Amino acid sequence: MNVYAVRAIYLFELHRTWRTLLQSIATPVISTALYFVVFGAAIGARMTAVEGIGYGAFIVPGLIMLTLLSESMSNASFGIYMPRFTGTIYEVLSAPVSVLEVLLGYVGAAVTKSVILGLIILATARLFVPFGVLHPVAMIAMLVLISLSFSLFGFILGVWADGFEKLQIMPMMVVTPLTFLGGTFYSIDMLPPFWQGVALFNPVVYLVSAFRWTFFGIADVNVGLSVAMMAAFMALCIGIIVWIFRTGYRLRN
């Protein structure tokens, strides 16, 4: 295990975050705060409680999830796309590092950043609405697991993308709609029966549901099923990454 390489990549990536602190931390915090002002305070005040939980508090897990998914993806995809774009990837490819070490460095840094961000948003939310966390350990574990899955997914995206447009298109065209439709702002029980069935094909429903369960002990779908879905998604991403390195796809000619 080339520990020095893992550390070098990890610190390099965190250093990038530090350098771009304003975009990295402040932007998502501000946008989340806006959601709370609009949906939590302004509209939420007129909404009835969902399953006994005030609407402002109900949307907290979903909003954290919204930021977590997009930030995990964009951090990890940007982390590997930039060296490809500038050509500095030659150094990583010629270095004595394995797939695992490259992932620990790039994805590890993306996960670290996402988890910190998630916790900051959690703290920000607490300023606007009162709520408690029923299963804090499970909540943290879920935060890490979901950041990891989507950072892996972002890594794949960063290897696949051959332009900045493609880098943006997945988060904007796929993940944001799925998150909005994934029960961030509502319980899927509130949907008509047909759309409830459709919603079950949306992977984000499982994430939001399980994450909300760690806060309030209520879930749209079975928590075990949610965790199984996450594990399956992560296994798929790891499989694709191993294939990428084995075949050299978009990395080595």
Q: Which residues bind another protein (CB under 8 A)?
A: 2, 4-5, 7-9, 12, 15-16, 19, 86-88, 90-98, 248, 252-253
Q: How far is the CB of 11 from another protein (least distance, A)?
A: 8
Looking from the CA of 213 toward its CB, the CA atoms found within 13 Å total: 18
**Amino acid (1-letter code) at residue 218:** I
Select 4 or 180, whichever has its Cβ closest to another protein.
Answer: 4
Q: Are 149 and 231 in contact (CB under 8 A)?
A: no
No. of H helices and E strands in the chain? 12, 0
Select 48 or 86, whichever has its Cβ closest to another protein.
Answer: 86
Q: Are 177 and 136 in contact (CB under 8 A)?
A: no
Select 98 or 222, whichever has its Cβ closest to another protein.
Answer: 98
Q: How far is the CB of 92 from another protein (least distance, A)?
A: 7
Q: Are 60 and 125 in contact (CB under 8 A)?
A: yes
Q: How far is the CB of 98 from another protein (least distance, A)?
A: 8
Select 186 or 245, whichever has its Cβ closest to another protein.
Answer: 245
Alpha carbons 103 and 208: distance in angstroms, whole number: 26
Select 27 or 88, whichever has its Cβ closest to another protein.
Answer: 88
78 closest CA partner among 118, 29, 20, 28: 20
Select 15 or 34, whichever has its Cβ closest to another protein.
Answer: 15
DSSP 138: H
Report CA 25 to chain centroid distance, whole Å: 14
Q: How far is the CB of 97 from another protein (least distance, A)?
A: 7
Q: How far is the CB of 252 from another protein (least distance, A)?
A: 5
Q: How far is the CB of 14 from another protein (least distance, A)?
A: 12
What tokens does 167 get?
A: 């880098």
Select 84 or 135, whichever has its Cβ closest to another protein.
Answer: 84
Q: How far is the CB of 145 from another protein (least distance, A)?
A: 28
Q: How many residues are given for the chain? A: 253
Which residue has tokens 């997009």?
70
Alpha carbons 44 and 65: distance in angstroms, whole number: 19
Alpha carbons 152 and 238: distance in angstroms, whole number: 7
